[in-house]
Amino acid sequence: MYYQKQFELPTSDTLVLLHSGGMAGVEWQPQIAQLSKKFNLLVPDLPGHGQSPIADDEVLSVAMMGNAVADMVVAEGLSKVHLLGSSMGGAVALWLAIHRPNLVDKLIVYRIAHRKNHATHAQTNHMADPEYWRKFGLHNWLSELHLPQGGRDAWQRVIANVSKVLHPETTDHNHALADLAQIQSDTLLICGDRDPLVPLSVLMAMHETIPRCALWVLPNATHITATNTWRAKSFADEVIRFIMQPLITE
């Protein structure tokens, strides 16, 4: 798995940034400058995305991506890392916190619930339609981003695979609340208050279940939360604050 490594600080704190489905590590570019002042960074292109192609016979799954991230952490000689995952990357971060808790220090889960149902998957499936991206003029950018996946049209397979990875009948992103109750990491949940993929009622249930958990709901925000534009600095500030300060428990 391809990843960028930015280890410039004399600190043991390493933050791993996990991008959303259909994107790549470049998604975090608006926050890299701020975050790298406080943490060493690992920024992968998750398998099946960007510069991390998978074989034709490989089936993409959250567990496969989680294991690739775990292998990266171990290969870097790190015992624990902080995780920040966006959407599909949040599903990977959550999987690691449940299945590889020994590797996870603080956990930030952004724009993802603990499981998919047909209602929340409908929007994910809508975003697997190439016309969705053409409407925003992003198809040429995605084509360049995912060239290593097999050519100029490979981006369409990449976004289709995201929908398959998160299909409610087959996905391994399917955690019960009882699974969340076992999470050992200090956790921050983030989403927009109008995100159709993460209903606030579900997010509140997660918040009440994870033992050491904080919650940040972005106002007047859907699944697109402007964290790559005018919210970029405040988003990085909150991430830094959560990781560097102790969780208030009283």
Pinpoint the alpha helices (H) of 136-222.
Answer: 139-145, 154-165, 177-180, 200-209
Q: In this predicted structure, what is the pLDDT of residue 73?
A: 98
**Long-range pairs for 99-104: beta carbons < 8 A, 24 or more residues apart:** 99/63, 99/66, 100/66, 100/70, 101/182, 101/183, 101/184, 101/185, 103/70, 103/73, 103/74, 103/78, 103/79, 104/80, 104/184, 104/185
Domain tally for the chain?
1
pTM metric for this prediction: 0.97
Q: In this predicted structure, what is the pLDDT of residue 12?
A: 85
- Return mean pLDDT, the chain: 96
Mean pLDDT of 220-229: 95
Task: Render pLDDT for 44-96 as a digit per residue (tens, 0 to 9).
Answer: 999 999 999 999 889 999 999 999 999 999 999 999 999 999 999 999 999 99
Q: Is residue 182 assigned to a domain?
A: yes
Give 177's pLDDT tier (boundaries 50, 70, 90): very high
Q: Is residue 88 assigned to a domain?
A: yes
Residue span of the structural domain in which 23 resides: 3-244
In terms of pLDDT, which residue wins out, 231 or 250? Answer: 231
Give 129's pLDDT tier (boundaries 50, 70, 90): very high
Q: Is residue 250 assigned to a domain?
A: no
Return d(Cα 127, Cα 164) in angstroms, integer. 12
pLDDT above 90 (res 134): yes
Listed in sequence order, the residues at least 6 apart from 200 whose beta carbon sits closer than 8 Å to its beta carbon are 191, 193, 217
Give 11's pLDDT tier (boundaries 50, 70, 90): confident
Q: Is residue 216 assigned to a domain?
A: yes
Q: In this predicted structure, what is the pLDDT of residue 56?
A: 85
Give 111's pLDDT tier (boundaries 50, 70, 90): very high
Q: In this predicted structure, what is the pLDDT of residue 57?
A: 87
CATH of the domain at 54: 3.40.50.1820
Q: Is residue 184 assigned to a domain?
A: yes
pLDDT above 80 (res 250): no
Q: In this predicted structure, what is the pLDDT of residue 224?
A: 93
